[in-house]
Every structure is written in C-alpha cells, then in structure tokens.
Amino acid sequence: MSALVRAILMAVIAPAVVAMRPAPVATVDRLDSQTESAMFEQTLECLAMNVYHEARSEPVKGQVAVASVTLNRVKSGKFPGSVCEVVKQGTRRSCQFSWWCDGKKDAPSDEEAWENARRIALRALMGLAEDPTKGALYYHATHVKPSWSRALERTTRIGQHLFYKPSGSDEVRLASAD
C-alpha cells in the first residue's frame, strides 16, 4: 500500500476503528499517527486473517459475510469491543473461530487469497461493504448442525455457511466501522 493511500486511510479510517471500542477509564486525547497506523494495521490484519481462514474458498459475498459477522459482533456489545479481541475470543483450545484454535500455523499460504481477504477486510472497515447477513452475529458451515443454532433466527445462506442472529433483533444492520 502506498504511503499516500495509507495516509488517506489513516485520516479517514483510524478514528472510526478506534471509536468502535468503548473509551477506557483513562483516555488519551489524541493518539499519535504512528500509534493510529499500528492499531489500524493490527485491526486490518485480524479481520483479513478471519476472512482468509474462515471463507477464502467462498464467493466474495461469503467472504464479505464473514467480515460483516466479525464487525457486527464488535458493535453488538455482546462480544469484545475490538476486531482482534472478537477474532481471538476464547482460548487456543476453545474459541469462536475454528482456525484460531485448530493448532495449525496461521500464516496465509495462498498469496492471492490473502490479498483478496485484505481487500475485503479493508472495504468492510471503510464501511464500503454492505452486510449481506442481515445483521448476523453467528454462522456455521452447512455440513454441521450445532445445537446452538436452534435458538437463533437464520438470516441467510451464503455459499457453504448459514448465518444467524438472536430472535427478535434488528432486521438489517450494516457492518462498518462507523
């Protein structure tokens, strides 16, 4: 990413990413640009890793759906308040996203799929990707039938994933950083 593109993104996106998380008791008035840049890169990396590992073989819409669920969780108040905390929630033995605790190396091995995941994650963080899941907070692959899914409202099927939200929750929410 060029320095100019990074500077533009940092001016527009970093404040929104920082704002996604509730303010701590002791706040800092303004983070320096280096800290903002590092925080944005970390957020982008976590979201892209989740898209890559959970949905790289899915169509683009399915990859956007995984990014949307991750961002919906951040915004819900029912999950941790940052993208990285949502992605890494749990332990390396029991976690929310299977790739995080499967014991395998996490480094992407397919460069093209990795770059695509980064582009999708960036668009989602910028608020340029509409949520195709209709506000889902949960999903699973179609080849499994977890017991928890019976207590939720199915919102859609995209590729090989089924998406859910709590029954009676808001119909449509955009998954974006704003």
User: Is 76 part of a structural domain of the chain?
Assistant: yes
Give the other-Cβ count within 10 Å of 13's Cβ. Answer: 20
- Model confidence at 48, pLDDT cuts 50, 70, 90, reads very high
Q: What is the pLDDT of residue 141?
A: 94
pLDDT tens sequence across 128-171: 999 999 999 999 999 999 999 999 999 999 999 999 999 876 54
Q: Which residues contact 12 (CB under 8 A, 6 or more apart)?
A: 126
Q: Which domain holds residue 61?
A: 3-19+34-166
Residue written as tokens 């890793």?
A: 49
For the cut 60, the answer to whether the pLDDT of residue 74 exceeds it is yes
- Report which of residues 100 and 55 the model is more confident about: 55
> What is the domain count for the chain?
1
For the cut 60, the answer to whether the pLDDT of residue 100 exceeds it is yes
Angle (CA) 39 62 7, round 5°: 30
User: Is 176 part of a structural domain of the chain?
Assistant: no
User: Is 29 part of a structural domain of the chain?
Assistant: no
User: Is 147 part of a structural domain of the chain?
Assistant: yes
How far apart, in Å, do the first and last CA atoms of the chain sit?
23
User: Is 178 part of a structural domain of the chain?
Assistant: no
Distances (CA, A) of 9 to 29, 122, 126: 20, 9, 8
User: Is 69 part of a structural domain of the chain?
Assistant: yes
User: Is 27 part of a structural domain of the chain?
Assistant: no
Highest mean pLDDT: which range of 13-17, 64-68, 103-107: 64-68
User: Is 174 part of a structural domain of the chain?
Assistant: no
